[in-house]
Amino acid sequence: AYQVCWEKFCRYWDIEMRTVPIDLDHLSLNMDTVMDYVDEYTIGIVAILGITYTGKYDDVKALDNLVEKYNKEHADMPIRIHVDAASGGMVAPFIDPELEWDFRLKNVWSISTSGHKYGLVYPGVGWVIWRSKEALPEELIFWVSYLGGKEATMAINFSRSASQIVGQYYMLLRNGFKGYKEIHERTLEVARYMASEIEKMGIFEVLEGAEQIPIICWKLKDDVDVEWTLYDLADRLRMQGWMVPAYPMPENIKDIDVQRLVLRQDFGMNLAILCIKDMKKQIEILNNSRVIVPNNENGDNNYVSKGFDHSGR
């Protein structure tokens, strides 16, 4: 349940990517099986703080314990952990400072996060932090002098605007620790209200109710008898101006469709109440409508609407 950037990374650098399947009992990294995918060729393990599909956190501390045990048995070829904290990296330090997921853990070697998510800056600014100089080999640093003076660069692309960095600098100074904490607490309060209201509708199973970051993920209950799908609901909500995507879960449980809400800091309680009201109205419309299912290429009516997409195919 990873972001597509990891597929790109492995394909571009010709790295074998081993993915640990998730299931409904393990909607984050399964600590019972993760080390089964490690061998002498493994260069690292990625843990995610805010999984793309559901918003859940991987248990980085439990993973660190497993890696520490492995490294003691393979001292000549230790493996390290990279934490992909694109969503949670700018939330956890303010909301759950006691949670151990960062460099407090011995085997966490690097952390990445997105300033343009819960760092509260406009797209696109991302950060990567290494544990120490040892974790960033000198051969990955390039020194240039043609800009006047000696300057280090380690980015893949060179020329880009510094406006997002200035924006992040301003937000950190302007809000401080207390400001970020208050903003995220307010957003979480709104998200948890919405999760509660969605659960009260009685037809959805909430898989993630904004326990850690302002993300809500749900699916239709198994015993719910409706003619419409989450893709139909997503289309109806889009007509009202709400972008609430529906999509299948990863390969191991791809037959399960879910829907997700990601709340920004400017999504207040008034908008939340309006969104829930529109959601109830669109569900009522779908319940009172007769869904006409077109035939598929085989001539039967087993066609399932997957809603709008941007593929052009």
- Please work out, in degrees rounded to the nearest 5, the angle formed at the alpha carbon of residue 86 by the alpha carbons of 17 and 95: 135
The topology under which CATH files domain 187-287 is Aspartate Aminotransferase, domain 1 (3.90.1150)
SS (H, E, C) the chain: CCCCHHHHHHHHCCCCCCCCCCECCECCCCCCCHHHHCCCCCCCEEEEECCCCCCCECCHHHHHHHHHHHHHHCCCCCCCEEEECCCCCCCHHHHCCCCCCCCCCCCEEEEEEECCCCCCCCCCCEEEEECCHHHCCHHHCEEECCCCCCEEECCCCCCCCCHHHHHHHHHHHHHHHHHHHHHHHHHHHHHHHHHHHHHHCCCEEEEEECCCCCEEEEEECCCCCCCCCHHHHHHHHHHCCCCCCEEECCHHHCCCEEEEEECCCCCCHHHHHHHHHHHHHHHHHHHCCCCCCCCCCCCCCCCCCCCCCCCCC
Residue 159: predicted pLDDT: 73
> Nearest 5°: phi and psi at 206?
-80, 115
Please state the domain extents for the chain. Answer: 5-160, 187-287
Q: Per-residue pLDDT tens, the chain, 313 aa: give them.
A: 788 889 998 999 999 999 998 888 889 999 999 999 999 999 999 999 999 899 999 999 999 999 999 999 999 999 999 999 999 999 999 999 999 999 999 999 999 999 889 999 988 888 899 999 888 888 888 898 887 888 888 877 767 788 989 999 999 999 999 999 999 999 999 999 999 999 999 999 999 999 999 999 999 999 999 999 999 999 999 999 999 999 999 888 999 999 999 999 999 999 999 999 999 999 999 999 876 666 655 655 555 555 555 555 5
Residue 162: predicted pLDDT: 85
Query: 290 and 217 in contact (C-beta within 8 Å)?
Result: no
Residue 87: predicted pLDDT: 92
217 - beta bridge partners? 208, 260
Residue 217: predicted pLDDT: 97
Round the CA-based radius of gyration of the chain to a whole number and report it: 22
Query: 81 and 47 in contact (C-beta within 8 Å)?
Result: yes
CATH number for the domain whose boundaries are 5-160: 3.40.640.10
- Please work out, in degrees rounded to the nearest 5, the angle formed at the alpha carbon of residue 241 by the alpha carbons of 236 and 242: 75
